[in-house]
Amino acid sequence: MLTKRIIPCLDIKDGRTVKGVNFLELKDAGDPVELAKKYAVTGADELVFLDISATEERRKTLLELVRKVAATINIPFTVGGGISSVADVDLLLRNGADKVSINSSAVKNPDLINEIAKKYGSQCTVVAIDAKQIDGEWMVHLVGGKVATELSLFDWALEVEKRGAGEILFTSMNNDGTKNGFANGALAKLSELVNIPIIASGGAGSMEHFADTFIKGKADAALAASVFHYNEIEIPKLKHYLKQQNIAIRI
């Protein structure tokens, strides 16, 4: 059985780690380099760095900050935000990223998924999907959740897998920052539909929520931010708890 992964997420705006609720009301959560160092030391399986305003501000990811974070950690490192070409990917990989996450640019130019997967491999290609449940339907949103589309979460997930994505990072906008638990119904449906790993994001508030998303949501990894940034949940304690629930986890 493959072990489940615990992934802290650094949402970056103006060079600082921030966190909000339902993608709004962003508050400062600390220095990204210090947080990254802490997570690598305390047993995080991977780290995700999302420059959340890069697309909206029509600029590239903060390269120097990516380089600094990469230099302090020894765990797989995924970077997203403002990536719109293979050249952008090349630059990030040369500055310390192990994988890249594309979101809005993948919807606008789906061929980008094929191009990245072909050049760097599926294992390097993560497609992030931000979706909101509206009248019972999960719809994809772009530009940090600000732009609605008519694209169904499930249709899009099938397409990104077909195009060569190695992993899907699904964030439920309804659950984001609420600390009420992950969107396990949608996650379970996603994991039945596709054959690539699904990272659950949005809603972590307790250790039970992590267990639920692995058992009920069938997620392969769980990503969280504020519960880790503000020391509400410590990763070593979380992993021991999950182990006690008979969930395969790397201690």
Contacts of 99 (CB under 8 A, 6+ apart): 76, 77, 78, 79, 123, 124, 125, 126, 166, 167
pLDDT at 35 over 90: yes
Give the pLDDT of residue 144.
74
- What pLDDT score was predicted for residue 37? 96
- The rounded percent of the chain whose pLDDT value lies above 90 is 79
Strand 167-172 relative to strand 125-134: parallel, antiparallel, unpaired? parallel
In the residue annotation, 90 being an active-site residue is answered as no
pLDDT at 191 over 70: yes
Rounded Cα gap, residues 180 and 31, in angstroms: 26
The DSSP code for 247 is -
Say yes or no to pLDDT of 56 above 90: no
**pLDDT (mean) for 124-133:** 97
Longest pairwise C-alpha distance within the chain: 46
Question: Taking residues 79-87, what's their average pLDDT?
Answer: 93
**Rounded-to-integer distance, Cα 207 and Cα 179, Å:** 11
- Cβ of 141: how many Cβ atoms within 10 Å? 23
Please work out, in degrees rounded to the nearest 5, the angle formed at the alpha carbon of residue 183 by the alpha carbons of 199 and 99. 15
Question: Could you report the per-residue pLDDT of 197-227, keeping only the tens digit for each?
Answer: 999 999 999 999 999 999 999 999 999 998 9
- The pLDDT value recorded for residue 51 is 86
User: Residues 11, 88, 176, 220: which is the catalytic one?
Assistant: 11
Q: Strands 5-13 and 221-224: what pairing?
A: parallel
Question: What is the per-residue pLDDT for 18?
Answer: 81
Is the per-residue pLDDT at 22 higher than 80? no
SS3 content of the chain, % helix, strand, coil (to 5): 35, 30, 35
Percent of the chain predicted with pLDDT > 70: 92
The better pLDDT of the pair 30, 233 is held by: 233
pTM score, two decimals? Answer: 0.93
Among 51, 130, 212, 220, the one annotated catalytic: 130
Query: Mean pLDDT score of the chain, rounded to an integer?
Result: 92
Q: How confident is the model at residue 14 (pLDDT cuts 50, 70, 90)?
A: confident
pLDDT at 248 over 60: yes
Q: Are 80 and 110 in contact (CB under 8 A)?
A: no
pLDDT of 43 strictly over 80: yes
pLDDT of 77 reads 98
pLDDT at 11: 87
Q: 28 vs 156, which has greater pLDDT?
A: 156
* Residue 42 reports pLDDT greater than 80: yes
157's CB contacts (< 8 A; 6+ apart) are: 129, 168, 170, 190, 193, 194
31 in active site: no
Q: Is the pLDDT of residue 45 over 70?
A: yes
- Inform me whether the pLDDT recorded for 62 exceeds 60: yes
Give the dihedral of Cα atoms 103, 58, 132, 19; nearest 10 deg: 100
